[in-house]
Amino acid sequence: MHLAITPKASLDESNIGFALRVALRNGFTYVERVYSKSTLNKIIRGNPVTITPQIHLKSRLYASTQTYIATPLFERAIQIDPKVCLRCIKEKGYINAEVQSPFVHQCSAHHEPLIDKCYACNNQLTWDIALLKGRCTSKQCGIELAQPAHTSLPLLLDTQVADCLLASHFLSNREETLIKQPRYASFSNYQEKLREGFRFLNNHTSARSWMHSCINQHSSLFPTNFAATNISILFKNLKAIWPVSCVLQKYETIERTSANNEIGPFYADTEIASQLLSVPKNKIQTLVESGLIKPKGSKKLNYKSIIDISPVIELLAPHFTSSEMKPLSEQKESLLYYNICLSDIFLAIKEDELNVGFQANSDLISSIYCTPDALRGLANNKRQHKIKVNSSKPTFAKGDISLRSPRTSTKNKNKSNQLGFHF
């Protein structure tokens, strides 16, 4: 397509804003008449595009939005939903590149909140030529956009914005125990989410109420740290210090009032599953093969794999404790001495080789009960099984030293890392 006018891009102009301006200057009503939807998606995401005739869409987006703040909400700090400064559009006639940063909520020049929706029709804005005219992009509305009447937030740092958005996500997704991290940032009602998260992070009462609902939505058979997974993820990923930070850290003080004994699916990624089960990541595959945990999908396990770890609780729940039994948390030295991992415990229970008791406590290792003699018996069974397996290996000629295994020695003080316990 031949374009009569190719305007010059400003240094601080967003690529998608420049594409809209090209379409507007050439008299088009809809930007799709100039660029295909696939090309527009690439421009919005800062990906390279091939356009004939060539229009110089410089990669200024990365320089203005790139950040080293890590958040589980998205991989790349490029927001694909529009939010704009009305004064910048009126005064400059273009859209700044900074608006595509999910961590920018106010215009750096005018210190006014960026508009992400029409407050007359309540529709979210889209990347359309109407934005450059300061109008609603909904074809049913199209009125002139205006700042909302509510009080705006104070100017927040990038880290504070990340925290507010994360808190808002968990408030809206209380029942989820993981975050499915998309590649790009996308928020409907961006400013509302920001205000919601900001209010939550500054209010002790709201935080305690949310924590109570998070913990008690799960079965009472789950240990407390299972039920508090959302709380732990939020606290772990907070970048700034907030009034509720100390409250989130003390989730064990929240009273558990749930009487629900129905064990439903409990999904977690590989890292969180390893932490909750107190099993090293290299043992996760063993548990999958034994049917003790169930991955979603058939792909090979990786750090992003989603796993249902509730079968472990289903295995343990029917076992009752006795007065002779002690929690495994009080027998850590024996576990280290006998080189026993919790994955060995799970497998032994499944094969009826170990008699245990179960009572949900703060974490899994303190919820499993066992007598010291039974633990010693499991160690003997492991050793005998190992000897039996070794004796079945083929023997080699006396002079063949190339296949000789090196002698190893492992001290107890180094075993804790190998066994995956979190002391």
pLDDT of residue 63: 47
Determine the Cα–Cα distance for residues 187 and 26; give it in Å rounded to an integer: 31
pLDDT of residue 66: 55
pLDDT of residue 68: 74
Determine the Cα–Cα distance for residues 217 and 4; give it in Å rounded to an integer: 62
Rounded mean pLDDT, 75-81: 93
pLDDT of residue 57: 59
* Packing angle of the helix pair 229-237, 270-277 (nearest 10 deg): 120
HSE-up of 5 (CA within 13 Å, CB side)? 14
pLDDT of residue 64: 46
Confidence of residue 387 (pLDDT cuts 50, 70, 90): low
pLDDT of residue 12: 87
Rounded mean pLDDT, 155-168: 96
- pLDDT reading at 106 higher than 70: yes
Q: Closest Cα to residue 412, out of 340, 345, 354, 348?
A: 340
- pLDDT reading at 399 higher than 90: no
- pLDDT reading at 148 higher than 70: yes
What whole-number percentage of the chain has pLDDT above 90?
63
Per the listing, tokens 């006396």 go with 398
- pLDDT reading at 101 higher than 50: yes
- pLDDT reading at 28 higher than 60: yes
pLDDT tens digit sequence for 174-225 = 878 888 889 999 999 999 999 999 999 999 999 999 999 999 999 999 999 9
pLDDT of residue 423: 40
What whole-number percentage of the chain has pLDDT above 70?
86
- pLDDT reading at 391 higher than 90: no
- pLDDT reading at 80 higher than 90: yes
SS (H, E, C) the chain: CCCCCCCCCCCCECHHHHHHHHHHHCCCCCHHHCCCHHHHHHHHCCCCCCCCCCCCCCCHHHHHHCCCCCECCECEEEECCCCECHHHHHHHCCCEHHHHCCCCCECCCCCCECECECCCCCCECCCCHHHHHCECCCCCCCCECCCCCCCCCCCCCHHHHHHHHHHHHHHHCCCCCCCCCCCEECCCCHHHHHHHHHHHHCCHHHHHHHHHHHHHCCCCCCCHHHHCHHHHHHHHHCCCCCCCHHHHHCHHHCCCCCCCCCCCCCEEEHHHHHHHHCCCHHHHHHHHHCCCCEECCCCCCCCCCEEECHHHHHHHCCCCCCCCCEEHHHCHHHHHHCCCCHHHHHHHHHCCCCCCEECCCCCCCCCEEECHHHHHHHHHHHHHHHHHHHHCCCCCCCCCCCCCCCCCCCCHHHHHHHHCCCC
Rounded mean pLDDT, 155-184: 91
- pLDDT reading at 100 higher than 90: yes
Rounded mean pLDDT, 296-316: 87
